[in-house]
Structure 1
């Protein structure tokens, strides 16, 4: 496979119709779709390596060895977050207030590194994107495009069949490049949490991919059930396309900037400058440059190219080509409470990241799967999505609190942010739209002693009100941008996490969950009051690696970076087409959302060029 990749001499100083930066989920999708036309030439540049046939990528739980390894992970890091203290310690032993942001480095981007959840947003969330002034960016169009990315395949066997694999055949794709399925190995604890939720009025739903999420269900995953291996954007879209003479995929190509010239009042991209093998090269773009480099790198590359806020660029010595202050703004990220952890009773045979290594567990799983055993691995599949009114008795009080804060600060908010907040408030009031996700997490990230079954029930905010920024910190492209998610700047975010922790305790203190759990290890019996829980949550939060918004799709006067055709304002032929364009973060894991964005982007680009 490696021999089918381009050499630097195939790309440097050559001209292509389209130069795509970043073979992420969106980059792989768009490069593949455009190169389906043999009359269109495409160059795809990746800073990392291919990782073909790499077991750390192909085995679903290989991510545990990829994270923090710069071969696979960009290992971004945030600035100090004043409102939180995470549970990582500094070398001096004190608390750290910054966060690692892992992002996939290599072909396929984060689809090669993520937790494999395949979840689609709530219908109203996508329609809210259109309501921000983006005609055509609605649920119906997204839904049709997203299904084109996937082929749903049933699982041949699973180890806990009572944890039902429910789906609607009309809500999944049947002929797309990326195989998806239900993971065959689950912990088993998902079933008992589902029963506990049902006892408290939460329904188990039979279609988690059709635009109506409220309830609990087994999530699909980007796993090919025929092999038991991870499906990535690279294996789905790029590997089958590598024989196309009009597609050149170059790895180890670190993009520095987009090269531009002025034409009338707009900027025109002429090519891309990149580093390969210690040398700087240029690839020319006859039609367009398309940035698919992530919520972190797409705004970073724009700023390095002179497109961004003059007040950011000029102090760094970067010549301003387009003064576009919204670049790198409107950053949003899901924040998760990482510490609702339970020790489970061993006699129930729960499979966790610790117990799956035991010979007796391995033998049992192989007996279930038979000839289809393949690599034995574990993925997260238990998800629950809940509106605020479902899990909090204080819902009306919290909504009123947010509403008053928005009213009090109305004259200080930009028009775009004010409109976003009003839409978020509308979603928060809607008793059918989820504001929270709870994940059953069968991975003990700090194992100690003999293997024991530990399960986390981890809630995360669906629609954070806090906003942050990502900006270049140097004119040197190798220096990471400054990432400031501004976690918990808005009090409603911590309020929702505290209410969710209280709800989890309520659901697990008796009935089906209590029957199979031995003890709540964290927060534990010493945390009893709301005040104690509030402080505990602040010290035990983490990113879920779901950031968006830094190249927002919106009218320019409302903080937009790209228009409805994904063209960067002030440019004629630079587009951004990744998760950074999503102006309002949705409640779900972002992988399937990004595939849908990319398929829509490919349609738009083809139509604009009549190809």
Structure 2
């Protein structure tokens, strides 16, 4: 029935809507639902992918594993070869279809460190502070408290929303390796957090998951925001509508006005007119590309690509930041110790025995990521090594101030990052305990050769250990990288993927920190409760020991965490900004951006909740600008 409520091409093409949203992903659907609450305004959403209503690959807790590299669900972006990571390209999967990446992520619901958000306001964005973020984030969630809370299900009642559209809960099925890892961390002086949702992510904790406990299925932007709003006559959702460019006019004062959008649907080119605003919610990868295809961006780049320049805005597609992650260090665990992994859940006999022995487990069974640990650099390594890394950054910033080699806007960002790095109460790395792996050949029919290479080198694929053995993988990630990259249109052809160059490890401090995190994670695995359950390290194994071996191993086995931000940064224009604090693109009257691309600094978190909070805050900003807020 839901499919029948979607718009048809004749409902959208050649019509005018007050707000036309490009992208029906996490932010786009949340924003559309909030704006269409006013029956007097019209909203259209153009989504390139399919609807995926009632799709088990989306709703299933482990369905994301079957979405990867499937072109119906995954945009399958690849970066350029990374010069500082031994020339490796990296897969950047993104959700394709209604709900976007909220329909294919790892289901973790976390909030950032308080200082992350306050730093964004300090960079010149009044109103984008922790307190406002906190309230908007809680507005989006409906926390369902566990009927039988375990010792791991820790939270503060004041830190969770209870009336929002998205049901969230503690995952009922865990691998049972997370708690031993936390105990090993405690032996090494790391605290267990009692509440990681109030702006303090430091320590070891079990995250809340985007799981509706009533159905044990994924809760995401489609189920939470879109479906309850789909009957509204003023909301039109068109799927398989690939936006190619924004048509603009230049006014007498030199500003740019969006008049219409061009999009492809059913093999034909169509247009839809903009009454009030065109809103980019296509994500940090596609949004800058669409702006550039529309003639808004760096004049030199646009002229080189043969795209008529409508607005020279050099910062478009710059300041790109991504959470970099060393792929999994894998550990073979003892059998018979109740360790649950994704491979074992594929075995019908194992599932049957698990449900029989644990009546609280409910079908459909599925594991979520539930082992998160956020640590400062001061916990990872010796005081001398931590000081050495910090001093190297301080020296570079001092040199940049002296000779002007670092642009003022980037210098200001680095100063915020450095202050957080020096604070032992603010985490700098994340260490994840993961029970996931792909079976060899599972996706072979859909995976092109580059993806096969990726799958064979990432910790999610196990190729050297027999099936039906419990394998736990430990991943380490840098939370606030100093390296900056770019995302630009590669040609004037809208169907060509953008050129993605995150410049991993361009700043050597990122690699230094990640190496220390990797060494510390191995130390934890060989300590106390976790060590007692562990049989052996099966990847990379004991041959990798020296600092140089570890550095090379990290560079050769490097993946992303898929949290890209910064490509359309919210900053003062003279500091490298693309949008102002009201999310309007500089030099335009009615083009806004509402997605993760606006964040000028990376966050110490998995970014899903941040995207929803951005959409919620943006909805109120837009309503206020158009006098749509109700008293």
TM-score (norm 1): 0.96
**Is the Cα–Cα contact under 8 Å of residues 157 and 369 in structure 1 kept in the other structure?**
no
1:111 maps onto 2:126 in alignment: no
1:187 maps onto 2:202 in alignment: no
Give the alignment partner of residue 407 of structure 1, picking from 398, 412, 436: 398
The aligned residue for residue 437 of structure 1 is 430
1:563 maps onto 2:580 in alignment: yes
**Is the Cα–Cα contact under 8 Å of residues 258 and 273 in structure 1 kept in the other structure?**
yes
For residues 282-317 of structure 1, the C-alpha deviation after alignment (integer angstroms, 9 at most, x for no partner) is: 111110001000000010000001000001101111
After the TM superposition, which residues 195-344 of structure 1 pair with which residues of structure 2 at under 5 Å, given as runs? 195-263=183-251, 264-344=253-333
Post-superposition offset of 1:367? 3.6
The root-mean-square deviation of aligned C-alpha atoms, in Å, is 1.3
The aligned residue for residue 16 of structure 1 is 17
Most deviating of 306-315 and 522-531: 522-531
CA distance in 2, matches of 1:400, 1:372: 50
CA distance in 1, matches of 2:525, 2:368: 22
Give the alignment partner of residue 136 of structure 2, picking from 139, 142, 145: 145
Change (3 A) 1:551 1:285: same
For residues 353-404 of structure 1, the C-alpha deviation after alignment (integer angstroms, 9 at most, x for no partner) is: 1111233431244346758723111111110011111112111111001111
CA distance in 1, matches of 2:57, 2:147: 23
**Is the Cα–Cα contact under 8 Å of residues 568 and 575 in structure 1 kept in the other structure?**
yes
For residues 423-468 of structure 1, the C-alpha deviation after alignment (integer angstroms, 9 at most, x for no partner) is: 1111100111110011111112323432211111111000000000
CA distance in 2, matches of 1:156, 1:502: 38
1:123 maps onto 2:98 in alignment: no
**Is the Cα–Cα contact under 8 Å of residues 263 and 271 in structure 2 kept in the other structure?**
yes
Give the alignment partner of residue 352 of structure 2, picking from 349, 357, 363: 363
Post-superposition offset of 1:500? 0.6
**Is the Cα–Cα contact under 8 Å of residues 428 and 479 in structure 2 kept in the other structure?**
yes
CA distance in 1, matches of 2:200, 2:69: 35
Give the alignment partner of residue 446 of structure 1, picking from 455, 461, 482: 461
Runs of at least 4 residues of structure 1 off by over 6 A? none
The aligned residue for residue 456 of structure 2 is none
For residues 502-549 of structure 1, the C-alpha deviation after alignment (integer angstroms, 9 at most, x for no partner) is: 111222223111100001122311112112111111111101111100
CA distance in 2, matches of 1:557, 1:369: 59
Give the alignment partner of residue 353 of structure 1, picking from 325, 328, 342: 342
**Is the Cα–Cα contact under 8 Å of residues 284 and 565 in structure 2 kept in the other structure?**
yes
Q: Give SS of 2:342's match.
A: coil
1:482 maps onto 2:471 in alignment: no
**Is the Cα–Cα contact under 8 Å of residues 6 and 236 in structure 2 kept in the other structure?**
yes
The aligned residue for residue 175 of structure 1 is 163
After the TM superposition, which residues 380-419 of structure 1 pair with which residues of structure 2 at under 5 Å, given as runs? 380-393=369-382, 394-410=385-401, 411-419=404-412
CA distance in 2, matches of 1:54, 1:474: 34
The aligned residue for residue 603 of structure 2 is 586
Q: Give SS of 1:297's match.
A: helix
The aligned residue for residue 473 of structure 1 is 490
The aligned residue for residue 531 of structure 1 is 548
**Is the Cα–Cα contact under 8 Å of residues 566 and 597 in structure 2 kept in the other structure?**
yes
The aligned residue for residue 78 of structure 1 is 79
1:37 maps onto 2:25 in alignment: no
Q: Give SS of 1:412's match.
A: coil
1:4 maps onto 2:5 in alignment: yes
Q: Give SS of 1:494's match.
A: helix
CA distance in 2, matches of 1:599, 1:510: 43
Post-superposition offset of 1:157? 5.6
1:573 maps onto 2:566 in alignment: no
CA distance in 1, matches of 2:321, 2:126: 22
CA distance in 2, matches of 1:195, 1:17: 55
CA distance in 2, matches of 1:466, 1:371: 45
TM-score (norm 2): 0.93
For residues 462-485 of structure 1, the C-alpha deviation after alignment (integer angstroms, 9 at most, x for no partner) is: 000000000011111111110001
Q: Give SS of 2:62's match.
A: helix
Post-superposition offset of 1:208? 1.1
Post-superposition offset of 1:150? 0.6
Q: Which runs of 5+ in 1 are unaligned?
A: 86-95
Q: Which runs of 5+ in 2 are unaligned?
A: 438-459
Q: Give SS of 1:195's match.
A: helix
Give the alignment partner of residue 510 of structure 1, picking from 527, 530, 533: 527
CA distance in 1, matches of 2:398, 2:579: 28
**Is the Cα–Cα contact under 8 Å of residues 515 and 551 in structure 2 kept in the other structure?**
yes
Give the alignment partner of residue 476 of structure 2, picking from 440, 450, 459: 459
**Is the Cα–Cα contact under 8 Å of residues 289 and 488 in structure 2 kept in the other structure?**
yes
Q: Give SS of 1:347's match.
A: coil
**Is the Cα–Cα contact under 8 Å of residues 172 and 361 in structure 2 kept in the other structure?**
no
Q: Give SS of 1:403's match.
A: helix
CA distance in 1, matches of 2:181, 2:596: 31
**Is the Cα–Cα contact under 8 Å of residues 267 and 572 in structure 1 kept in the other structure?**
yes
Count of residues in Structure 1 that have an aligned counterpart in Structure 2: 598
CA distance in 1, matches of 2:509, 2:381: 13
CA distance in 2, matches of 1:29, 1:372: 32
**Is the Cα–Cα contact under 8 Å of residues 227 and 374 in structure 1 kept in the other structure?**
no
1:373 maps onto 2:362 in alignment: yes
The aligned residue for residue 62 of structure 2 is 61
